[in-house]
Amino acid sequence: MTSHVLNPCPQCGRRFDFPLTGCMTFVAESLIANSNGKCPECGTPVVVDQPLPTAEHVDSLAAAQTDSEKRDVKIVDLPLSIRCRLQIHKMNIETLGGLLQISKDAVRQQLAESPTYIDDIQSMLDEHGLKWQP
């Protein structure tokens, strides 16, 4: 999965820096989610090599064997919606292990604006036999 962001925009020169994460994968994904991979200023496509929604997607979580391997999976690689992963990343969490160290109630509060996300996360955890830290 290799999305590349033309940064700055070749048309209008807008820069797509997200100081919060500093992660270009997230810049690419949020551009895809928010403006279909196009520059919000001038509409020029700035995300190239967009990953197809299903094809060739490697599910890192499914590939992880041990509990600690699962906890090392990066949030960006989790089988969750782009917006849900962005919300988790905004909480300064990098890995699934980091997420599980926070209580489910605290995460639910953080995701209060999008109540379905916590259900998505819970079904993902159930599917992979993972639990929140007690």
**Counting contacts by CB under 5 A, is residue 48 touching Zn ion?**
no
Which is closer to Zn ion, CB of 36 or CB of 109? Answer: 36
What would the DSSP string read from start to end of 4-17?
EE-SS-TTT-----
Per-residue mark of binding to Zn ion, 20-39 (x: CB under 5 A): -------------------x
Q: Which position among 5, 9, 61, 73 is part of the footprint of Zn ion (CB under 5 A)? A: 9
Which residues have a Cβ under 8 Å from the Cβ of 86 and sit 6 or more positions away?
26, 29, 30, 33
Which residues have a Cβ under 8 Å from the Cβ of 83 and sit 6 or more positions away?
33, 114
Q: Which position among 17, 41, 59, 67 is part of the footprint of Zn ion (CB under 5 A)? A: 41
**Counting contacts by CB under 5 A, is residue 12 touching Zn ion?**
yes
Helices (H) and strands (E) in the chain — how many of each? 7, 2
Interface contacts to Zn ion, rule CB under 5 A: 9, 11-12, 14, 39, 41-42, 44
